[in-house]
Structure 1
Amino acid sequence: MDFTNYSLDGKVFYFFWNRQLHFFFAQLSIRCLLTWGLETNSLSHRIALTYLLHKGLKTNSLFDRLALTYVLNRDHKKNSLFDRLARAYLVRRGLEKNSLFDTIARGFMHLLKRRRQTENFFDQMALMYLVRRCDDAVHKCLSVRGFSDVFDFAEVEGRKLIDRNLQRISKTPLAFETAKIAVSCRSIEAFHQENIDEFEYTAELGYWTGALERLRQLEKEKNFESD
């Protein structure tokens, strides 16, 4: 696609045009697993999620990892002294806003990206278990909720993409217009994809549709404020 005849903010355009959705699809898979998984109470499930947590964590502190592991695996129906101590520790460490879900998804993304190169036995075992269970969970989700649930979740994540990058796209009017062009192109590209799994097609289309809708909403709000 040739954009040489357009006045664009190059950095903003290629930020969206070259954006890969590996993390988003990892999030979607883990969401299905947690919601529709067949073994969510099993020891294997807990071990797999804990493994992903440690793959996705950016902290090297042993105590941080122990506290987060405890929070992931604790009985949420109880509120023991140890629960309160763990939460207080995480707050003091500035990890209270740490998203376990996103961290687990990040760990899964890392495994998926290296699945053909890794020789790590534990990575291979985790992948064998998680890919199979995620596939089962996706099929269960689609059979119960249909593709609309996938599209709705993807839309929300697409809107979040814009919100996370508001500073980037709001620096100048050109940057904002460039973002609209780039996201519009991605949504059109997603719509016209061929030879792609219907689940992935729905998710990617929903993602870029949500991003485009958020940009249009921001534009309306901006125009309303200027009137």
Structure 2
Amino acid sequence: MNYLIVDDHPLIRQSYSQIINQISNGHARIDHADNAASAWMKWIETRHELVVLDINLPDISGLDLATKILRRQADTRVMFFSMHDELGLVNRAMKLGASAYVSKSAEPEEFARAIQAISEGKHYIEHRLATNLICSRDSKNNTALDMLSGRESEIFLMIAKGYSSRQVGELLNLSAKTVANNLSIIKQKLNVDTTAAMAHLAVSLQLIEVYQPTGQPVQPSKLAS
């Protein structure tokens, strides 16, 4: 099987490769890419059967890259491996056609199980995330994200979780102007005026949870609008 690993951190790509080589007994062909543009060119040339994809990429969102790949070849197996564990993004990823979703906080064994499962044609969601999805009170909690592009979805959820614009820029490798432009578009699409309103919307739709010091979730009605 041909694999394409897309992540902008070389050490992470190497770690993925080691796990995949162990699972395949060294018989896998593994290509690497550190951004969406390079990944797209390599995939067009080789048509890798399985793509391991980060959501945070330097040029465009991994969600948008996955959409391009799956529109071109729907049977490509896409596995997201991301720092994001928000249920809204998990839903968004699986809805667009991904075969698996695992967060970067998961143990290496979980990554290996996901690779093994989708190599066999199955779907896989990290156990913790799958449990939270099942327990979610509102299965339509990604309505707001459907209005946004992949990159806009990332920024929306990060701002709603309390990241500053500067932190978002640093984590996503975006300029301050690009973050500001995206925020303006997001607010317009969602019909909100402030970042506080964005956070309130995200919590009310159960896209994120806000915790009190006791660890208990704050009800959306407790947030200031």
Structure 1-normalised TM-score? 0.29
The structure with the greater share of residues assigned to helix is 1
- Asked which structure has the greater CA Rg, the reply is 1
Structure 2-normalised TM-score? 0.29
Structure ranking higher on relative contact order (CA contacts 8 Å, 6+ apart): 1
The structure with the greater share of residues assigned to strand is 2
